[in-house]
Structure 1
Amino acid sequence: MAAGTFLAILNSNKKTNALTANVILARTKSYCFTPNTVKSNNLYSRINAVGDPRCGVDPVLQQWVQEGRHVNELQLQRIIRDLRARRRYSHALEVCKWMSNSDLEFSSSDCAVQLDLIGRVHGLMSAKSFFSSMTDQEKTVKTYGALLNCYVREGLLDESLSLMKKMREMGFLSSPLNYNDLMCLYTNTGQLEKVPDVLLEMKRNGVSPDKFSYRICINSYGARADINSMEKVIQEMKSHRHIKMDWVTYSTVANHYIKAGLKEKALYYVKKCEKNVGKDAVGYNHLISFYASLGNKDEMKRLWDLQKAKCRKQINRDYITMLGSLVKLGELEETEKLLEEWEFSCKTFDFRVPNILLIGYCQKGLIGKAEAKLQDIIKRKKTATPNSWSIIAAGYLNKNNMEKAFECFKEALAVQAQNRDWRPKASLISSILSWLGENGEVEDAEAFVKLLIAKVPPKSEMYHALLKAYIRNGKEVEGLLECMKDYKIDVDEETMKILSLRQQNS
């Protein structure tokens, strides 16, 4: 690629990105859901068919009514609840808004759900504005609680405490839910020592803690390795008849005992966890992971067989857990066999599953074997994700084989459309850029940066690599310096140090 052509690409990048966004938007409007294409007699099935979050579900609801079909509050509430559980917040909010604008009854609980969804989709300011627009009758304990949840989600301690104080004055702190929110906030902000104080305050105010209250407190003590206090909270929790001890609580306790290196205590609670797990596949995943941490392969395999017998089917998540546990114990041959079993039975090919084996190979230094496995999957007409190629690139980097790391990372950038949420590791980018600047050809450096800026914003280290490559090959750098200026990347000490190399090379 000629230097002038490359600089033109960099200079036009902002306009190109804006144009691309407009093209995507235009295409979205054309391929978004067309109501007539879905013939299901189930409203949720029709809404669920709108998989793209950029596409609206309003037309689905409108068509449903136009067909003379009945819709009621309970039906929409169930749909909203399911969409929220699946993190389809924008679609859940649309259904909520449609419901509020219809002739259906819209309760304070529905209003609280809408407030929470606005906070998730549009941010805190929009949620606060919506709350301010409510009538006094709509501002109930539930809507105040939803606003508090928005503050907690944003990690705003002062605002949360202020709102809690107001809720206390209004007599709105009669359930453990809001106290639990505050304990979660202290946990998320690293103030674990304050969590038990909230539990004490809750009890002083005549509010009975629920299992979530105790679980958060158990976790706060466990995270601080205060095992004695954690055990006391467990015993207090057990003493309450209204609280049923579940596998999740036992799992939380077992995890902290494992981290503390108390194997016997850990095993006791792992067994308690198993007695309560029932047919919950997630619970079996926890148990398998615990035994992997304890180094017990036989128990892992026993629980895997038990999970197969008791749970209806094994999904990709379950295989990821078992494969990861085998890799943790260094059992690569068994990992290979289990991956073959998954490949034979899976209905949806998910690259996160074979990625576990690729990681295992790389951890053992078998980078060539990892790349060969990935190439074998690709030959079977599977398009690799950037994550897969990135794993191989990192493996070669650890072996100091920069040429191969560079080639594999280029492959990752080339297929990034397969995972738009993928974010390459900064350390991997830095290492490759540094190597290109010191050793790479100008064309290679330019091609790599061109791919890179399609994924991450331009940074000084990209231009530093290009500057080094240009100077080593006797090319003019004024155009690059202008690009840095356009992107408001300052000429710093490192830049000046690189530019001083021109005199040495002249």
Structure 2
Amino acid sequence: MNAKGHVKFLPKDHAVHLDLIGEIHGSSAAETYFNNLPDKDKTEKPYGALLNCYTRELLVEKSLAHFQKMKELGFVFSTLPYNNIMGLYTNLGQHEKVPSVIAEMKSNGIVPDNFSYRICINSYGTRADFFGMENTLEEMECEPKIVVDWNTYAVVASNYIKGNIREKAFSALKKAEAKINIKDSDSYNHLISLYGHLGDKSEVNRLWALQMSNCNRHINKDYTTMLAVLVKLNEIEEAEVLLKEWESSGNAFDFQVPNVLLTGYRQKDLLDKAEALLDDFLKKGKMPPSTSWAIVAAGYAEKGDAAKAYELTKNALCVYAPNTGWIPRPGMIEMILKYLGDEGDVEEVEIFVDLLKVAVPLNSDMTDALSRARMREEKKVKDAVRMWVGDGNQNEILSDIQ
């Protein structure tokens, strides 16, 4: 619209457009758009949008050079550019570089916002520098313009959990809970997961009850979170009950929910239960997708049961759809093809390879399995002939077969 002259873009509009270009077409396309802007439109907003494109793609040199240019032009006067750079270092795993960025921000008279503090707190926690983490949190709590949100305390708790500092983790979680919006299911899910990592079943159940009571809607994500925690706590029977509750909840049927329990069955070596659950869904007219069959197949492969792994992987391939996030595991497929090459009928191998070729390119393992199965079949026929034909006619008949 702007290019046709229908609407006059302001710098802020260019910034939004530039960021979208970068997200869809990449930073090079965003650069081209930026370079073609009139100088009068190259304000802090388009500059900031281009910085966001660079940091999103983890382009360190371009990000830092562009950030320096913004500073020279006087365009770094808010938290956003600094947050971009701190996010860049975080995503690169260079957590030790984050504190110096927030220090520079403060030295330039810019008060960090919630995100600034949270990313700095996490940078200390990730490096197990709990002294630095606590000092930053205390500074944040004392900053009059900042209201510490539940997510910040959850980040602190998560880092304490990783450091096995349980008492302080519990304290941080209580502070987080005091800050949540009681209608926000995401906050409950997050806290439930953290209590799950602490192994505190009573707190998990308490928060789940509050979530069920306080939140108007209970979506599939809520159930997958709680199921995952119950599985982690080895509460398989409770997870089974919860799955039944989900089935009767009226939510859209999504196999990502039962897949959590299937994964739990696999981890606990309850593969009979996993198969029974799949059969139960089939009886209800719900065809499990490839991912569900593959979870159980992987469990059998881990036990060295190639026959069962083959059976379930074949089911997975029969319902395979591209671009659904599932690709057959190379190691398991190698095991199955070896098994089929050594023991499978030729027809079985041919059918499996035909199914497999839809999901992965034809390779030497597939052709080798076919070759070995055919050689075994030929040998079987020859051996049968030798058993039933006398020595006088054997060579002639074998010649006809060949």
TM over 0.5, shorter chain: yes
Match of 2:381 in 1: none
Task: Provide the C-alpha distance between the structure 2 equivalents of 1:305 and 1:108, rounded to a whole number of angstroms.
Answer: 49
Aligned residues of 2:262 and 2:295 also touching (Cα < 8 A): yes
Match of 1:337 in 2: 241
Identity of aligned residues (%): 50
Q: Which one scores higher on RCO, CA 8 angstroms, separation ≥ 6?
A: 1
Match of 2:18 in 1: 115
Match of 1:463 in 2: 364
Q: What residue identity is the alignment partner of 1:284?
A: Y
Cα shift at 1:103:
3.5
Could you give the per-residue CA deviations for residues 66-114 of structure 1, whole angstroms, max 9, x where no partner exists? xxxxxxxxxxxxxxxxxxxxxxxxxxxxxxxx57757445332222121
Cα shift at 1:445:
4.0
Task: Provide the C-alpha distance between the structure 1 equivalents of 2:92 and 2:40, rounded to a whole number of angstroms.
Answer: 34
Match of 2:397 in 1: none
Matched, 1:447 2:351: yes
Cα shift at 1:439:
4.5
Aligned residues of 1:385 and 1:418 also touching (Cα < 8 A): no
Match of 2:174 in 1: 271
Task: Provide the C-alpha distance between the structure 1 equivalents of 2:343 and 2:101, rounded to a whole number of angstroms.
Answer: 58
Q: What residue identity is the alignment partner of 1:228?
A: F
Cα shift at 1:436:
4.0
After TM superposition, list the pairs within 5 Å mapping 1:98-137 onto structure 2: 103-104=6-7, 106-137=9-40
Q: Give the alignment partner of residue 189 of structure 2, picking from 266, 270, 285.
A: 285
Match of 2:295 in 1: 391
Could you give the per-residue CA deviations for residues 264-307 of structure 1, whole angstroms, max 9, x where no partner exists? 00000010011011222111001111111111111111111101
Task: Provide the C-alpha distance between the structure 2 equivalents of 1:99 and 1:368, rounded to a whole number of angstroms.
Answer: 62
Task: Provide the C-alpha distance between the structure 2 equivalents of 1:457 and 1:162, rounded to a whole number of angstroms.
Answer: 43
Matched, 1:318 2:222: yes
Aligned residues of 2:219 and 2:251 also touching (Cα < 8 A): no
Task: Provide the C-alpha distance between the structure 2 equivalents of 1:332 and 1:102, rounded to a whole number of angstroms.
Answer: 63
Matched, 1:474 2:375: yes
Match of 2:126 in 1: 223
Cα shift at 1:357:
1.2
SS in 1 for 2:199: coil
Task: Provide the C-alpha distance between the structure 2 equivalents of 1:101 and 1:339, rounded to a whole number of angstroms.
Answer: 55
Task: Provide the C-alpha distance between the structure 2 equivalents of 1:158 and 1:200, rounded to a whole number of angstroms.
Answer: 21
- Structure 1 residues 189 and 102, CA, compared in 2 at 3 Å: closer, same or farther? same
Structure 2 residues without counterparts, runs of 5 or longer: 377-402
Structure 1 residues without counterparts, runs of 5 or longer: 1-97, 476-506
What count of residue pairs does the alignment treat as equivalent?
375
Aligned residues of 2:349 and 2:369 also touching (Cα < 8 A): no
Q: What residue identity is the alignment partner of 2:108?
A: N
SS in 2 for 1:429: helix
Q: What residue identity is the alignment partner of 1:454?
A: V
Q: Give the alignment partner of residue 64 of structure 2, picking from 161, 167, 172.
A: 161
Task: Provide the C-alpha distance between the structure 2 equivalents of 1:224 and 1:441, rounded to a whole number of angstroms.
Answer: 56
After TM superposition, list the pairs within 5 Å mapping 1:34-113 onto structure 2: 103-104=6-7, 106-113=9-16
Q: Give the alignment partner of residue 307 of structure 2, picking from 403, 419, 438.
A: 403
- Structure 1 residues 470 and 262, CA, compared in 2 at 3 Å: closer, same or farther? same
Could you give the per-residue CA deviations for residues 212-246 of structure 1, whole angstroms, max 9, x where no partner exists? 11111111111111111111111111111111100
Q: Give the alignment partner of residue 371 of structure 1, picking from 254, 267, 275.
A: 275
Cα shift at 1:321:
0.6
- Structure 1 residues 446 and 114, CA, compared in 2 at 3 Å: closer, same or farther? farther
- Structure 1 residues 438 and 168, CA, compared in 2 at 3 Å: closer, same or farther? farther
SS in 2 for 1:215: helix
Match of 2:151 in 1: 248
SS in 1 for 2:251: coil
Cα shift at 1:191:
1.2
**TM-score of the two chains, using structure 1 as the length reference:** 0.70
Task: Provide the C-alpha distance between the structure 2 equivalents of 1:221 and 1:439, rounded to a whole number of angstroms.
Answer: 56
Task: Provide the C-alpha distance between the structure 2 equivalents of 1:383 and 1:297, rounded to a whole number of angstroms.
Answer: 33
Q: Give the alignment partner of residue 238 of structure 1, picking from 117, 121, 141.
A: 141
Matched, 1:417 2:321: yes
- Structure 1 residues 287 and 194, CA, compared in 2 at 3 Å: closer, same or farther? same
Q: Which has the larger radius of gyration?
A: 2
Aligned residues of 1:442 and 1:466 also touching (Cα < 8 A): no
Cα shift at 1:161:
0.6
- Structure 1 residues 425 and 200, CA, compared in 2 at 3 Å: closer, same or farther? farther
